[in-house]
Amino acid sequence: MILVITSSLGGQLKLKSRVQLRKSKKIKLVDELISTFGDSIRQISESKFETGTSDDLTIILIGGTPLFYYEGGEVIPTLRGALELELKTPAVVVDAGAVRYLANGADVMCPGIVRADPSIREGDLVIIKEESHGKPLAIGRALMPGEAMTAESGKAIKSIHYVGDQLWNIEL
């Protein structure tokens, strides 16, 4: 089976293999995910874990759904993963005016941030959520500490995965 990731920009990424994780690797990965994202991960611990690979991306499929991926050896949740697992932290909430920019892959600027988890440190992964419903819009990397993100100006978060990008539009 070939998984195809289609970009809204027209590009495609074909995943060439799909391999079930060995039990020992699955246990190690589940422990890592629990330590990073909390106990909500326990709900998937009995599911089938697979990886799908391409030239530059490894996606972790859990129960056949792409919930995480590897980037530089780090496990990062996909937006589907953040939604399905209801990952709560670390989170940054943005106002309605920022939503359309985030959906186009923009970075998060300080004036659009309503609130940020104060435990966020520079370099941390963050889940960017919209204010009215609390739904994840993007995954990003903090460029400053959480308590500084509600400043008047500046770039607070580098967007790395967002609604409408190749990972969002994956077709299984």
Q: Output the domain CATH number for residue 74.
A: 3.10.450.120
- Residue 170 belongs to some domain of the structure: no
Claim to verify: residue 38 and residue 58 sit in the same structural domain: yes
Judged by DSSP in three states, 23 sits in: helix
> Confidence band (pLDDT; 50, 70, 90) for 152?
confident
Summarised one tens digit per residue, pLDDT across range 108-147 is 999 999 999 999 999 999 999 999 999 999 999 999 999 9
Query: Count of domains in the chain?
Result: 2
Summarised one tens digit per residue, pLDDT across range 32-50 is 999 888 888 888 989 999 9
- Residue 169 belongs to some domain of the structure: no
Nearest 5°: the CA angle 62, 67, 73 is: 100
> Confidence band (pLDDT; 50, 70, 90) for 8?
very low
> Confidence band (pLDDT; 50, 70, 90) for 13?
low
Q: What is the C-alpha to C-alpha distance for residues 133 and 163, in angstroms, rounded to an integer? A: 15
Q: What is the C-alpha to C-alpha distance for residues 89 and 128, in angstroms, rounded to an integer? A: 10
Model pLDDT, residue 151: 87
Q: What is the C-alpha to C-alpha distance for residues 55 and 133, in angstroms, rounded to an integer? A: 36
Summarised one tens digit per residue, pLDDT across range 81-119 is 999 998 877 899 999 999 999 989 999 999 999 999 999
- Residue 12 belongs to some domain of the structure: yes
Claim to verify: residue 23 and residue 61 sit in the same structural domain: yes
Claim to verify: residue 97 and residue 27 sit in the same structural domain: no
Model pLDDT, residue 81: 92
- Residue 172 belongs to some domain of the structure: no
Claim to verify: residue 104 and residue 71 sit in the same structural domain: no
Claim to verify: residue 109 and residue 60 sit in the same structural domain: no
Q: Where are the alpha helices (DSSP H) in the chain?
A: 23-37, 79-84, 96-102
- Residue 168 belongs to some domain of the structure: no
Q: Where are the alpha helices (DSSP H) in 109-149?
A: none
> Confidence band (pLDDT; 50, 70, 90) for 2?
very low
Averaged confidence pLDDT in the chain: 86
Q: Which whole number is the average pLDDT over 15-19?
A: 80
Residues with Cβ < 8 Å from 100, sequence gap 6 or more?
Answer: none
Claim to verify: residue 65 and residue 100 sit in the same structural domain: no
Domain that holds residue 108: 91-162
The domain boundary, picked from 39, 56, 85, lies at 85
154: domain CATH number is 2.30.130.10
Claim to verify: residue 70 and residue 142 sit in the same structural domain: no
